[in-house]
């Protein structure tokens, strides 16, 4: 064939699969401005917030109580930006990866050229997850080093107990929060709804639980998705009401897996 359509594409063998769709999803992610804006906000917020907190603490160290000084966690403090604000920003991107396809109608075009929906679902998740993980790792380390530089005498080093775990773990936490948003986005197919729900889970739910009587709070807190972020970044002291750092990460991991399985199932079976 060809003629009307010029020379035609180069020949191939095999079957269109994950590799091509991953390249496609990477192109999609790179080629819209919202991605770059979101990532810029992520960089500014996480680095800026960490630097601000660390600088403030350094300046006010002499006013802190002895017990505050004793339990001061230099690592976790420097990771506050990426660990606390990072999930919010990444959740927006995770939602947009899928919900922008529904709001623009692009999803129908995407599924027309790649009707194997599990492949599309997986490729989107893999591309978004890996991009997020790499960026979050870079930002975690940057936040740590900038924060420690600003803390001066009160800083931690990479060789301190739990520091590497906190830095790498925070990046994983941010990635899991992003994948949670992606999964919810697939289920709801609506940008505003998805972001609202994710903000509810990551930011409002912990506040509500805090208002509960302490016996309730202590029983529930280990099951919160956000406890993974708290536990993984803490290097000084332990929280008796939580599982271990990786235990909390596993709790969040299970939530993410459940949401992704539900999302994949709906994505495969629903009319587009």
Q: Which residues bind another protein (CB under 8 A)?
A: 1-10, 12, 14-16, 20-21, 23-25, 27-28, 30-34, 100-101, 104-116, 269, 271-272
CB of 185 to another protein, least distance (A): 15
What pairs with residue 6 in β-bridges? 3
**Which lies closer to another protein via its Cβ, residue 166 or residue 195?**
195
Helix (H) / strand (E) containing 55: helix 33-60
d(CA 4, CA 68): 76
CB of 24 to another protein, least distance (A): 4
**Which lies closer to another protein via its Cβ, residue 102 or residue 203?**
102
Q: Can you give the length of the chain in residues?
A: 272
Which residues 6+ apart lie within 8 Å of 153 measured at CB?
A: none
CB of 265 to another protein, least distance (A): 14
| Largest Cα span, the chain | 82
**Which lies closer to another protein via its Cβ, residue 52 or residue 119?**
119
CB of 14 to another protein, least distance (A): 7
**Which lies closer to another protein via its Cβ, residue 100 or residue 239?**
100
d(CA 31, CA 36): 9
Place of tokens 């009307």: 4
What pairs with residue 3 in β-bridges? 6
CB of 44 to another protein, least distance (A): 21
**Which lies closer to another protein via its Cβ, residue 101 or residue 248?**
101
Which residues 6+ apart lie within 8 Å of 6 measured at CB?
A: none
CB of 131 to another protein, least distance (A): 15
Q: Give all strands (DSSP E) within the chain, no chain letters.
A: none
**Which lies closer to another protein via its Cβ, residue 58 or residue 117?**
117
**Which lies closer to another protein via its Cβ, residue 23 or residue 69?**
23
CB of 41 to another protein, least distance (A): 17
The half-sphere exposure of 127 on its side-chain side, counting CA atoms within 13 A, is: 23
Which residues 6+ apart lie within 8 Å of 127 measured at CB?
A: 22, 25, 26, 29
Comparing CA positions, the residue from 220, 177, 183, 171 lying closest to residue 202 is 177
Cα–Cα distances in angstroms (integers) from residue 194 to residues 76, 178, 205, in the given order: 29, 12, 15
């Amino acid at each position: 064939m060809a003629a009307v359509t010029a020379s035609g594409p180069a020949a191939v063998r095999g079957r269109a699969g994950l590799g091509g769709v991953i390249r496609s999803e990477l192109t999609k992610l790179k080629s819209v401005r919202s991605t770059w804006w979101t990532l810029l906000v992520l960089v500014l917020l996480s680095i800026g917030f960490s630097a601000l907190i660390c600088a403030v603490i350094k300046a006010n160290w002499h006013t802190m109580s002895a017990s505050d000084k004793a339990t001061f966690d230099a690592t976790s403090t420097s990771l506050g930006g990426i660990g606390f604000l990072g999930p919010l920003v990444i959740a927006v991107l995770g939602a947009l990866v899928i919900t922008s396809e529904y709001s623009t109608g692009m999803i129908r075009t995407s599924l027309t050229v790649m009707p194997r929906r599990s492949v599309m679902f997986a490729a989107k998740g893999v591309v978004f997850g890996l991009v997020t993980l790499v960026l979050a790792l870079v930002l975690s380390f940057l936040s740590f080093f900038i924060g420690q530089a600003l803390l001066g005498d009160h800083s931690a080093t990479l060789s301190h107990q739990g520091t590497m775990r906190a830095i790498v773990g925070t990046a994983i936490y941010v990635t899991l929060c992003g994948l949670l948003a992606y999964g919810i986005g697939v289920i709801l197919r609506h940008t505003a709804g998805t972001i609202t729900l994710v903000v509810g889970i990551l930011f409002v739910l912990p506040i509500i639980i805090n208002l509960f009587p302490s016996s309730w709070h202590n029983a529930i807190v280990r099951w919160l998705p956000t406890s993974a972020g708290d536990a993984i970044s803490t290097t000084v002291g332990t929280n008796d009401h939580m599982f271990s750092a990786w235990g909390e990460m596993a709790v969040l991991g299970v939530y993410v897996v459940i949401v992704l399985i539900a999302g994949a199932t709906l994505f495969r079976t629903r009319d587009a």
